[in-house]
Chain A
């Protein structure tokens, strides 16, 4: 997995940065995502096209296993996709410093309260008093 190269999964995965915190929205699923401090640094590097085998610099506060688990989560939620071209982009200049000073392991948080509503099957699952796309309970 660390030998692969990655890219943001598509135009429907959009992100914004707020004082170093990153929020990602998958326009299709309606899910929002945020990251720990190490996760933010890694997302920035991955989104910029950095080679994944350079994402574990000396002094990083996470192991190869923890990095791999983080990549697996990004792939599982379809925020990243494997790319086949061999072109590499240099790591963002401040990447190594960010991961060395990070206080948290790489991880992500999923806010999907609304995602189920976006994806509801409105013909069968609508809650009549509230209306589509509010799902029926149970």
Chain B
């Protein structure tokens, strides 16, 4: 027996059985009835997704929190079918538990799945699963019951599936912010508290473009290009007030991080561009000076800022992620961005910098 079963009928899996379990989840979800009332189509760069959601909140997040491609797809389009299901759906797969006697070593788990051509991510507290067969373009988000997902799940829905899909194609979801002028821009990477998100919002409020904060798609062909995926922006209450968002946006509750969460369209005066050609990698830091300064930074330091959180936040694909983000840091000029105090001054400094990159 490849997958054990405990008293409440939840399967129990370990590194040795996870591939068989993942395969069974995909097969079972794929046989569920397709119903137009539960179906949504999301068009992202190079990826057209049909989502079948049996969870109302996740369905709403999928509808609301993406920045879909409008017009011609900038990349060659592939298809993916995703099922969002839970234990109360008749004939649904059952969310397994991790064997309490077995270690969960993410890299070893990812390698075991990779040998079967599969991907999976497990969140212990809720027995919440993302399972994917990238070559077949099928994926399942599996929960114990309705709305039994981690609190961050709705902000960036389907994130592991996008990560695995784009990684297979040599592209990468990056934990980074973007700002641009006239289609040319910069990538900003840094740990929480570095000022990255506040800088993106300051730029948007002062006439700069962005294809997103937190997670963007990077493609590194002849040029390095960032594409928009998610519409979600976040800001802590102090930054929210400093940026004047408390006067601009309707009051709302804070998210699981204690941050305000809103959509890029609520603060960007113009439409989000379909892409930005990236000309530099910036590592922001909350500065002590009144004015913003931008100075060269060692590439190794910039790579660490970009790769560490991007690799850590995405399941599997660690070595290819390390190589990809290293290549980005090797190809782009890298700078430290010491942020001034005034949002408009910060935006002007970055806008001027991007203008100089273009010349």
Contacts and interface: CB of A to CB of B under 8 A. Distances in A.
Interface stretch (A65-73, A76-84, A95-103, A122-130): A122-130
B105 interface: yes
Contacts of B312: 30, 114, 117-118
Given A14-B319, A126-B125, A131 B300 contact: no
A111 B125 CA distance: 27
A131 B123 contact: yes
Contacts of B124: 122-123, 126, 132
Interface stretch (B25-33, B48-56, B87-95, B322-330): B322-330
Contacts of B103: 121
Interface string B210-254: 000000000000000000000000000000000000000000000
A12 B308 contact: no
Given A16-B303, A34-B300, A114-B312, A23 B125 contact: no
A18 B125 contact: no
A21 B300 contact: yes
Range for the number of chain A residues in contact with chain B:
20 to 34
A32 B322 CA distance: 11
Interface in B323-349: 323, 326, 329-330
Contacts of B299: 18-19, 21
B107 A32 contact: no
B301 to A, nearest CB: 8
Interface in A16-32: 16, 18-19, 21-23, 25, 27-28, 30, 32
A70 B329 CA distance: 27
Contacts of A113: 308
Contacts of B303: 16, 18, 23
B21 interface: no
Interface in B294-324: 298-300, 303-304, 307-309, 312, 318-319, 322-323
Contacts of A119: 105
A92 to B, nearest CB: 19
Interface of B is mostly: helix
B322 A16 contact: yes
B107 A23 contact: no
B319 A27 contact: yes
B297 to A, nearest CB: 11
B261 to A, nearest CB: 15
Contacts of A25: 307, 318, 322
Given A117-B312, A123-B100, A131-B150, A18 B123 contact: no
A130 B164 CA distance: 23
Nearest to A125: B124
B71 interface: no
Contacts of B318: 25, 27
A131 B100 CA distance: 18
Contacts of A32: 304, 308
B151 A129 contact: yes
A57 to B, nearest CB: 25
User: Which 8 A-B pairs give the minimum distances between C-beta atoms?
Assistant: A18-B299, A21-B300, A16-B326, A122-B124, A18-B300, A114-B312, A27-B318, A131-B150
20 contacts: A16-B330, A18-B303, A21-B298, A23-B303, A27-B107, A27-B318, A27-B322, A28-B107, A28-B108, A34-B300, A111-B304, A111-B308, A117-B312, A119-B105, A122-B98, A122-B124, A123-B124, A126-B125, A128-B125, A131-B152
